[in-house]
Amino acid sequence: MALIEVRDLWKIYDLGEVQVEALRGTNLNIEEGEYLALIGQSGSGKSTLMNTLGCLDRPTRGSYRLAGEEVVTMTRDQRAAIRNDHIGFVFQNFNLLARTSALENVELPLLYGSGISGRQRQRRAVEKLELVGLGDRMDHHPGQLSGGQQQRVAIARSLVNNPSMLMADEPTGNLDTRTGREVIELFQKLNEENGITVILVTHDQAVARNAHRTVVLRDGEIVTDTPDFRVALQALHSEDGEQSENEQQSEQDDEPADDEQPAS
């Protein structure tokens, strides 16, 4: 049984006079321990798919089974519970509390329904900060940390509930190239050494090519699902190529024929 099983999944936003089909009959399986990138142009549906897989949003219809449990029919509280059990999130903007230490930021998810003592919370937070290489920065506040260090705190926080899956939405978007590369190397380490399933949404090809599998979306549909990043790139840019060819053809059609050329 796959960790994630998606069948004929639709997400339709009703904007009054207009209905937007953000996901259109999506089918996808993700096995435990995979490292996968979701890519696509703006408006392709990749963020909608991420939010749906992360149990942050409810699909309009279809089936989504996470660890064997059907998510589509769950209540909001039930989705929150399964999200807390299985998923850790990393976002572009870190989302750290400015006036609390790195240690306290990492402890935060354990305050909600975990049922563990304060000493256990602290021990687990220390363990995750050491895992991401911040054992010597636990008492620092976000303002005292670099962007890369803040993202590492966010990653440690996402791991503190020991999730089976890590979801990252543009995790290097606010980082310079070198720091972004270090963060991606950390994701690889978590995947390869700890067996955590990693799902990235990114527009950065340098980030996406590190994944072992790439899913390309266009207009709410998966157009390519491949372990070969070169194939994924071809699919990603094929729409641009088709548009360019159509534009060139249109320009040619608009040119007057030889017998219609104005006299010089």
In the chain, the N- to C-terminal Cα span, in Å, equals 74
Q: Is residue 230 part of a domain?
A: no
**b/e map 174-213, b = 16+ CB within 10 Å:** bbeeebbbebbebbeebbeeeebbbbbbbebeebbbbbeb
38 SS3 class: strand
**b/e map 110-132, b = 16+ CB within 10 Å:** beeeeeeeeeebbebbbebbebb
pLDDT of residue 113: 65
Q: Is residue 79 part of a domain?
A: no
**b/e map 74-93, b = 16+ CB within 10 Å:** beeeebeeebbebbbbbbbe
Q: Is residue 127 part of a domain?
A: yes
DSSP characters for 171-195? TTTTS-HHHHHHHHHHHHHHHHHH-
d(CA 91, CA 219) in angstroms, rounded, equals 23
Q: Is residue 80 part of a domain?
A: no
pLDDT in tens, the chain (264 residues): 899 999 999 999 998 889 999 999 999 999 999 999 999 999 999 999 999 999 999 999 999 999 999 999 999 999 999 998 899 999 999 999 999 999 999 999 988 766 788 899 999 999 999 999 999 999 999 999 999 999 999 999 999 999 999 999 999 999 999 999 999 999 999 999 999 999 999 999 999 999 999 999 999 999 999 999 999 999 998 865 444 344 444 444 555 444 444 443
Q: Which domain holds residue 143?
A: 97-163
Q: Is residue 125 part of a domain?
A: yes
Question: In 178-253, at which residue ranges do the beta strands (DSSP E only) sit?
Answer: 197-201, 213-218, 221-226
Q: Is residue 176 part of a domain?
A: no
Q: Is residue 63 part of a domain?
A: no
Q: Which residues contact 130 (CB under 8 A, 6 or more apart)?
A: none
pLDDT of residue 114: 66
Q: Is residue 253 part of a domain?
A: no
Measured in degrees and rounded to the nearest 5, phi and psi for residue 17 equal: -80, -15
Q: Which strand (E) or helix (H) includes residue 30?
A: strand 19-30
pLDDT of residue 239: 63
| Number of structural domains found in the chain | 1
